[in-house]
Each structure stands twice: as C-alpha cells, then as structure tokens.
Amino acid sequence: MKISKEKFGQAFDALVADYKVIAPVSDGSGIAFTEVKSFSDVKQDYLNSKLPPKAFFFPQHEKLMSYKKEGKDVTVKSELKVENTILFGIRPCDAKGMLLLDKVFKNDQYTDPYYYERREKAVIIGLGCTKIAPTCFCSSFEISPAGSEGSDLFLIDLGDSYEVEVVTEKGKALADRLALAELTADEQALVDKIKSAETPSKIDVSNTTSKLDKMFNSPYWDTLQEKCLGCNVCSFSCPTCHCFDISEEVCKNEGTRVRTWDACMAPLFTLHGSGHNPRDNKKARWRQRLMHKFNYFVHNNGSMSCVGCGRCIKSCPVNMDIRQVVDGANKAELVVE
C-alpha cells in the first residue's frame, strides 16, 4: 500500500492534535529528534541523528520522584508524566535498538515503569534508509536498512509517495486514518530493490561471542585501549547503551531522586564506597564494553547489543572504529587459561 506525501503530510498535521509528535529536524549542527507541530518541519532525507531517539523512553536526565518530610510524615510523589506519543522517521537500526532496550527494562524479572509506560503510549513510525552512510554496518546483525522490525508502521520513500507497511496493531490504528492506495508494478519493483539493499560495510560476528568466551585474559586488551580518551561519546551516542546512575538532590526537608545516563567507560562507574574500583583502568573498561555488547548481552538476552548505526565511529575523537575492534578480537590469539 502507498500514500502520497501530500496526503500523508495532511494526516501528519492532524495527528498533532491527538499526539505529542517527535520527528527528526535540522538543528544547525546536525539532525536531532524533537517535538514538531507540522510536517513541513520534518527532515526526511537524513542519514542518522546525532543522538539516538531512545532518550524519549529513557531520558538522559529524569526525575523519578520527589519527597518531603513534615514532622513525622513523609510524602512521596512520582514525577512520571506520560503522553500519547508518535516517533516519526526512526531508522531501522534505532527501531531494533528499542527492542534490545525492551529486554533490559521489561523482562520476566522486573519492569521499569518509567520506561515501560512511555513505550506503551508511543507509536513508532519507521522510515527506511534510501541512502547509507559509510559508517553504517547494520547488515552485520541481520538488520536491513529498509527493515520494519521494531516499528509499528513502516514507510519507504518512493519520491512523491511512501510505501506503507503495517507491522503492529498500533500501526494498524494509525494506518486506518490514512488514505492508502495500491502500489503500481513499478513502485513495487522499487520497494523490492530498496528492501534487498545491504550496507556496503559489514563485519563478521558469527563466531565473536564464542571467541570472547575465551578472551578475558587476552593480551589484546592491552593494545586496544592505548589511544582511547575515555570521553564516553561512544556510550552516550549508542542506541542500546542503558547504564545509569541514581542520585538524591536534597535541600533541608525535601528532595528529588534523579536518574542520569552513565557509562561503563567512565572511571567512577564501578567505584565502590570503600574506594576499591574493580575496573580502574581503560584496559578493563574497554574489555567490559566489548564483552558486554558481543558476549554478556548475548548470553543474557539472546542477541548482540549493537545495531551497526555507526554513531560511535562518527563521534570518536581519536577514530576508534568498533568494526576494527571486533575484527581484531576475531583475529586475536587465544591464551590458554
């Protein structure tokens, strides 16, 4: 099915009355996801945003609750405020990243209500990639640049129109509000061509997890960390990193509990109250980063915690390339332990 961009724009503007609509816009220094009021403000022809849109479910800085003591009485108030939201223009790598975050914040053991409530009230409209950046390598993880996994409604840009794919019931509810038409044979051929594309850059991860099982004491980690600055830009720009810190902001008899993004590459991340730090050097922290994404997460959740978006490659000030890091691990000699 398809819809003309003109009709989609009209429907989009009508949705603003019922939803908080988040979409990619140009902010002068790149692409950022922010609230929009009109389809004319949306930037569609973009490679990827500077930061992943995960922040709308897992904010970089959020108040979890506030509390106040009056005499012997203590009142606690949740700071969670959730609106019906549409995230438009999410790329397939970021949509898949949302599914990986779901494994962390909602599973058989526990559910994070702050993340979960936002996810429940959000509809994701994915937008396929018709251009691929040289730093993209999502095909390494069986993610198609035009794949609908993780989206509720998925669009492919055909020039004057969009091909529309309904993925979930949430997506169907939105699609029912659109004036859809049948694709022509030529349009279907174009859709098939776009869907068959892969990223020209790929890495072999078929044996990476099993290789890392035996690499904890490998000398590979000694050389890997040498040029890393420990700036954490790789973690903060990643659509699947989910580490956080919780702090109390207190003044006299009232305060607020705050959750803030943190990163395993930060020196203080594993610092104990005793002063002991089990990962007190970049070698240990880089080992943790790679092991978590390509080994620990696989054992715990059944998939790798990387979607090949390439943000960490683009952003690293010393040009550390995760593709080369994984390739180096694949080729590293094993040490008998």
Cα–Cα distance for residue pair 202/138, rounded to 1 Å: 8
Antiparallel, parallel or unpaired: β 73-78 and 61-70: antiparallel
Longest CA–CA separation in the chain, Å: 74
DSSP bridge partners of 63: 258
DSSP bridge partners of 308: none
What backbone torsions phi and psi does residue 258 show, to the nearest 5 degrees?
Answer: -125, 140
Q: H or E stretch including 96?
A: helix 92-105
CA torsion through residues 114, 269, 236, 195, sign: negative
Q: 285: Cβ–Cβ under 8 A, 6 or more apart, which residues?
A: 225, 230, 264, 265, 266, 267, 269, 279
pLDDT in tens, 114-156: 999 999 999 999 999 999 999 999 999 999 999 999 999 999 9
Indicate the residue type of 1.
M
Q: Please report the pLDDT score of residue 277 as a whole number.
A: 96
If 0-12 CB within 10 Å is exposed, 13-18 middle and 19+ buried, where does residue 231 land? middle
Q: Please state the rounded mean pLDDT for residues 169-188.
A: 96
Q: Please report the pLDDT score of residue 320 as a whole number.
A: 96
Q: Please report the pLDDT score of residue 29 as a whole number.
A: 84
pLDDT at 184 > cutoff 70: yes
pLDDT at 337 > cutoff 60: no
In 151-241 the beta strands, taken as DSSP E runs, fall at 153-157, 161-166
Cα–Cα distance for residue pair 177/237, rounded to 1 Å: 34
pLDDT in tens, 279-328: 999 999 999 999 999 999 999 999 999 999 999 999 999 999 999 999 99
pLDDT in tens, 48-84: 999 999 999 999 999 999 999 999 999 999 989 999 9
Average model confidence (pLDDT) for the chain? Answer: 95
- In the block, tokens 């993004």 appear at 261
Q: Which of 133, 97, 50 is nearest to 315 (CA)?
A: 50
* Residues above pLDDT 90, as percent of the chain: 93
pLDDT in tens, 260-273: 999 999 999 999 99
pLDDT at 243 > cutoff 70: yes
If 0-12 CB within 10 Å is exposed, 13-18 middle and 19+ buried, where does residue 12 land? buried
Cα–Cα distance for residue pair 211/291, rounded to 1 Å: 10
pLDDT at 26 > cutoff 80: yes
- In the block, tokens 């800085």 appear at 61
Q: Please state the rounded mean pLDDT for residues 174-182.
A: 96
pLDDT at 17 > cutoff 80: yes
Q: Please report the pLDDT score of residue 257 as a whole number.
A: 96
pLDDT at 335 > cutoff 70: no
pLDDT in tens, 185-237: 999 999 999 999 999 999 999 999 999 999 999 999 998 889 999 999 999 99
Antiparallel, parallel or unpaired: β 85-90 and 153-157: unpaired
